[in-house]
Chain A
Amino acid sequence: EAQVTQNPRYLITVTGKKLTVTCSQNMNHEYMSWYRQDPGLGLRQIYYSMNVEVTDKGDVPEGYKVSRKEKRNFPLILESPSPNQTSLYFCASSLSTRGQIRNSPLHFGNGTRLTVT
């Protein structure tokens, strides 16, 4: 089944303890992205990747890191989490970056709810 898989689904941690949220897609998609969802703010893009070894900042990159060493994986790293990073995080992917957007909608994972105390 074609899907975007995030792990874990729920995570409670303490301030300053490094964590990684994994994202994997099995559709051979070039493009991957991370969003955070907060009440009243909708979804805001954190980082995105057009292809392997290519990553760029989104609208709210502060406090986050990503890597794209393989096409299928796009982990989100919080080196020193803080309470303001408590949020619902979504990973998304799509087949192509340009020219095929009509046939390349974003596929979303089911989300990771992170609480930082």
Chain B
Amino acid sequence: RKEVEQDPGPFNVPEGATVAFNCTYSNSASQSFFWYRQDCRKEPKLLMSVYSSGNEDGRFTAQLNRASQYISLLIRDSKLSDSATYLCVVGGYSTLTFGKGTMLLVSP
């Protein structure tokens, strides 16, 4: 089993739609969880951390399910500018393991 697995997509959605991505991780001892965003031909950038109780940042909601070892990201009211690849990231003691990412394409 891969350390961090994501559906590569692409997810094609119209503007205004709600879209959700899931990610599973294999190491039950993982301590930290994040979503990074990567635009085409750009570097990854931190989108948000994921907390055990779930957390929200504007249109973005992240959830963690430790028992099932998965993380989710929900995007409401999708914008054209949300088109990017979303990387699920799991942290151990000192390093991060990145998933390959899920591509989102938001169309007019």
Q: Do A and B come from one complex?
A: no
